[in-house]
A and B are shown apart, each in its own frame.
Chain A
């Protein structure tokens, strides 16, 4: 079951909300665990079994670790075994799935990396040992973050399982955020993906300079609207069930530098890597070389988060080099330039990065780069590409517009001037958006 599906929207969600809010407050985390397990069962029963076994093992190992003194070597061994088990599961299963062309089990990155974080946190005394299997399981299998995160530290989630009074007035915004997430995925993300997929079926002879520039633009928009759509849905759903989840994207395509972009794109992954890798490595407090290495390791991992392919690795290296360039003084020069120029500069570099990201091989990416620069004798534009853009132009324009903060700023202005008008307009707009999204799900 997907979050942007009819059965989830109009069967699972209303039923879950009704059940969750009908139960007494002290029982709600148990109900939410039940809801999450049913979601898992409906979506991928086999993955549920994997999650149950892995998370229960982490729970048991955590309790075992608690038995030993702080400086006991066995404690360290248990922590390392928890980290090792989860990383092995994450990398092993992901690699296996990628090699065999099958889908990675639902929630695998979420529950394994959360397990790693939990092991390190309790070992360092930064989180309390969990004694409730249900709460531990809930934190790992919370249904809204299973498809695509965001990655949250265990203790951040755990603090929110305390019984709270449901506030009806606070449920409108999460519901709106959820609808916004669906709309991002089905109205803008899906057409961008379709356009990209069609362009990627072009043979080298069919490509033109125009189609090669269009491809990374579509890829960038498709990835953004797909992932940020998921995150908005997760955050919205979290709000409806009384759990606050962090945002994962903060208008990354209007960043003013590559360093800024990395901080705005896949924020929760960046934060996770900083917490568990960058900080322990010493951040950038050492020499330039060690700082560069630290930044390099984190950014590379940020790149291969999307999979284990040479192109993703190169994508990470591309950003490492650009960040190091900005740190070495180029960044200071950039900061003196007008904001508009900085945004164009950053977006252009990000766009070029998607040529690496989406290439099936290094050779293909090189061909694309050459073609984009007009080398290799490619025509400026061909009819098939122009025809495609004639089909998708309005979606592309809307995607570019909604990837900026402009609509949000307009909403803010209206809310400031007239809260009632903003509420009415918001209700109408979100109602229409849900109807439209439903239409796009029914008739993609």
Chain B
């Protein structure tokens, strides 16, 4: 009887502990108490559950332990993302054919109105390149990005010269090409795209020896770590490639057609911002110019991109007098209307499969016929 009583007290106490802990830690203050309107709308329980979950004592510890247990039991995919200590990889579904066709059509139309030669770089995501990080049994059902890129390239007219980013990256697949916790390309991944793009764009890519590489941030956790919370993934390293030759420098001009704020390349203070990867092109103003301090080349390159390979452009910029980067996710229609492609010698479209195949941003901004 006594043991039964002790058992009962212990079992009942279990239900009181979290509330007591919450009281001791002052977590009650974060609890949202639903109002009469919430009750009437039927959202009271949802609100309470959400806020209680947020302030739950030991939440992070419990979630991390549960995640570790689930991983130990064999789980390595969550919310459509594969994960391992080596990184989080988005298991892309098949691309949206309608959006793809619209985006390609928008590129054709835009290019048709320009006299400058146009280039198209469609870069694959980590799931296509770093296949060694994906469980073997899952490989068969992966979206075939290589075929998709080839199909997109083949459907473009001869106005476009296409850049083979897939093979540039695939031939270095064992290297640090993609962040573990972010879908974007690392500076090293961008370096290989820079090398691969050289022949088509008409510059001689510099070997790695020409650059000094610094690593100002060692514990970067990108947006994927929020999508796959508590996944046991190593944080990332942010690297910067500094061109050494003749101490030639570059600087940035944010919003050159508007406020024109001039900043140095690789402003280290941006590492403390919400998005440390802004360090490559500065705070996203939609349009950014990268200008040579002491230009020895005359070329001007206009780039339309989606923000997936920002580290690429400071590398390409060493071969140009001016490189104007237009991020189609951030640019406004007003800014876009001020840009005159005729002023540029070349136009590069650089997108990631993850954006181009699923997001109508390209056709929305560049115009659907």
Q: Which residues of A are interface residues toward B (Cβ below 8 A)? A: 1-2, 5-7, 9-11, 13-14, 17, 41-46, 168-172, 175-176, 179, 382-384, 386-387, 390-395, 419-420, 423, 426-427, 430-431, 434-436, 438-440, 442-443
Residues in B with CB closer than 8 Å to A11 are: 19, 48, 52
Residues in B with CB closer than 8 Å to A179 are: 11, 14
Q: What's the Cα separation between A367 and B193 when bound, in Å? A: 48
Q: What's the Cα separation between A17 and B8 when bound, in Å? A: 13
A171 & B11 in contact (Cβ 8 Å cutoff): yes
Q: What's the Cα separation between A440 and B63 when bound, in Å? A: 8
Pick from A14, A427, A430, A438: contact of B16, CB under 8 Å? A14
Q: What's the Cα separation between A386 and B74 when bound, in Å? A: 13
Stretch from B136-144, B179-187, B265-273 forming part of the interface with A: B136-144
Pairs A–B under 8 Å by Cβ, sample size 8? A1-B45, A7-B45, A7-B49, A383-B141, A384-B141, A387-B137, A442-B62, A443-B63
A383 & B4 in contact (Cβ 8 Å cutoff): no
Q: Which residues of B are interface residues toward A (Cβ below 8 A)? A: 1, 3-12, 14-16, 18-19, 39-40, 42, 44-45, 48-49, 52-53, 56, 59, 62-63, 65-67, 69, 73-77, 135, 137-141, 229-230
Task: Find the A residue at minimum CB distance from B22.
Answer: A10
Residues in B with CB closer than 8 Å to A6 are: 18, 49, 52-53, 56
Apart from A6-B53, A169-B5, A442-B63, what are 12 other A-B pairs with CB-CB below 8 Å?
A6-B52, A14-B19, A17-B15, A45-B39, A169-B4, A171-B8, A179-B14, A384-B141, A394-B73, A427-B6, A439-B63, A442-B59
A10 & B18 in contact (Cβ 8 Å cutoff): yes
B59 & A387 in contact (Cβ 8 Å cutoff): no
A175 & B8 in contact (Cβ 8 Å cutoff): yes
Residues in A with CB closer than 8 Å to B3 are: 419-420, 423
B7 & A423 in contact (Cβ 8 Å cutoff): yes
Top 3 nearest A-B pairs (CB, nearest first) are A439-B66, A172-B8, A387-B137
B67 & A443 in contact (Cβ 8 Å cutoff): yes
B12 & A175 in contact (Cβ 8 Å cutoff): yes
Residues in B with CB closer than 8 Å to A44 are: 42
Known: A6-B56, A440-B66. A43 touches B14 (CB 8 A): no
Residues in B with CB closer than 8 Å to A438 are: 18, 62
A171 & B12 in contact (Cβ 8 Å cutoff): yes
Nearest CB in chain A: distance from B291 CB, A: 48
Task: Find the B residue at minimum CB distance from A43.
Answer: B45
Q: Is the interface of B mostly helix, strand, loop or mixed?
A: helix
Q: What's the Cα separation between A394 and B73 when bound, in Å? A: 6
Residues in B with CB closer than 8 Å to A168 are: 5, 8-9
Task: Find the A residue at minimum CB distance from B15.
Answer: A14
Residues in A with CB closer than 8 Å to B14 are: 175, 179, 430-431, 434
Task: Find the A residue at minimum CB distance from B65.
Answer: A439
Task: Find the A residue at minimum CB distance from B42.
Answer: A45
A175 & B137 in contact (Cβ 8 Å cutoff): no
Task: Find the A residue at minimum CB distance from B45.
Answer: A1
A42 & B140 in contact (Cβ 8 Å cutoff): no
Nearest CB in chain A: distance from B45 CB, A: 4
Q: What's the Cα separation between A43 and B39 when bound, in Å? A: 9
Q: What's the Cα separation between A436 and B139 when bound, in Å? A: 32
Nearest CB in chain A: distance from B79 CB, A: 11
Residues in B with CB closer than 8 Å to A5 are: 45, 49
Nearest CB in chain A: distance from B10 CB, A: 5
Task: Find the A residue at minimum CB distance from B73.
Answer: A394
Q: What's the Cα separation between A17 and B9 when bound, in Å? A: 13
Q: What's the Cα separation between A176 and B48 when bound, in Å? A: 26
Task: Find the A residue at minimum CB distance from B47.
Answer: A7
Pick from A176, A391, A419: contact of B74, CB under 8 Å? A391
Nearest CB in chain A: distance from B226 CB, A: 14
Task: Find the A residue at minimum CB distance from B138.
Answer: A387
Residues in A with CB closer than 8 Å to B44 are: 41-42, 45
Known: A168-B8, A176-B11, A387-B141. A443 touches B230 (CB 8 A): yes
Q: What's the Cα separation between A302 and B67 when bound, in Å? A: 39
Task: Find the B residue at minimum CB distance from A176.
Answer: B11
Task: Find the A residue at minimum CB distance from B41.
Answer: A45
Nearest CB in chain B: distance from A38 CB, A: 10
Residues in A with CB closer than 8 Å to B63 are: 439, 442-443
Task: Find the B residue at minimum CB distance from A392.
Answer: B74
Task: Find the B residue at minimum CB distance from A428.
Answer: B10
A13 & B66 in contact (Cβ 8 Å cutoff): no
Pick from A2, A430, A443: contact of B11, CB under 8 Å? A430
Residues in B with CB closer than 8 Å to A10 are: 15, 18-19, 52, 56
Known: A45-B42, A442-B59, A442-B63. A431 touches B137 (CB 8 A): no
A435 & B62 in contact (Cβ 8 Å cutoff): yes
Residues in A with CB closer than 8 Å to B18 are: 6, 9-10, 438
Residues in B with CB closer than 8 Å to A419 are: 3
Residues in A with CB closer than 8 Å to B138 are: 383-384, 387
Task: Find the A residue at minimum CB distance from B63.
Answer: A443
Task: Find the A residue at minimum CB distance from B21.
Answer: A10
Nearest CB in chain A: distance from B352 CB, A: 25
B75 & A391 in contact (Cβ 8 Å cutoff): yes
Pick from B10, B40, B74: contact of A431, CB under 8 Å? B10
Task: Find the A residue at minimum CB distance from B51.
Answer: A7
Q: What's the Cα separation between A393 and B12 when bound, in Å? A: 33
Pick from B1, B4, B15: contact of A9, CB under 8 Å? B15
Nearest CB in chain A: distance from B111 CB, A: 37
Pick from A41, A43, A45, A386: contact of B137, CB under 8 Å? A386
